[in-house]
């Protein structure tokens, strides 16, 4: 998966770093919601308050990740394919972790 348009240097390394960090935090919130909060709500403990706390936090992080993708697309720049993969990854659980690998490689190469 190509992260950058051909022969385009990273214009804003800080924006790339923030995209990576926000992607990791959003991915961790997804894991926390699906594998901790939801089992506590629907499991034998019956604690719906956990989802009431973690759910909105995950929602804000999701919106922040999508906004970050849209804002930094031209700042980094991202290839069209990587831009769409990031948008898909914001919706499909755990894909952000896989997307951070090529983004980190790009960050280290810059």
User: Mean pLDDT over residues 14-28, rounded?
Assistant: 94
- 13 part of a folded domain: no
- 53 part of a folded domain: yes
Number of domains in the chain: 1
Please give the residue range of the domain that contains residue 85: 20-109
Q: Is 89 left (phi over 0), alpha (psi -120 to 50) or beta?
A: alpha
> Residue 22: which pLDDT band, with cuts at 50, 70 and 90?
very high
- 98 part of a folded domain: yes
- 9 part of a folded domain: no
Distances in whole angstroms, Cα of residue 45 to Cα of each of 42, 49, 83 = 8, 11, 40
Task: Supply the pLDDT for residue 85.
Answer: 93
- 95 part of a folded domain: yes
- 27 part of a folded domain: yes
């Amino acid at each position: 998966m190509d992260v950058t348009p051909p022969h385009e240097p990273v214009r804003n390394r800080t924006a790339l770093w923030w995209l990576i960090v926000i992607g990791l935090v959003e991915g961790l919130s997804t894991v926390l919601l699906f594998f901790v909060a939801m089992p506590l709500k629907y499991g034998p403990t019956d604690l719906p308050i956990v989802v009431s706390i973690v759910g909105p936090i995950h929602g804000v992080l999701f919106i922040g990740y999508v906004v970050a993708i849209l804002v930094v697309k031209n700042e980094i720049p991202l290839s069209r394919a990587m831009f769409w993969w990031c948008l898909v990854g914001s919706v499909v659980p755990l894909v952000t972790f896989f997307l951070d690998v090529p983004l980190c490689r790009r960050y280290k190469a810059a």
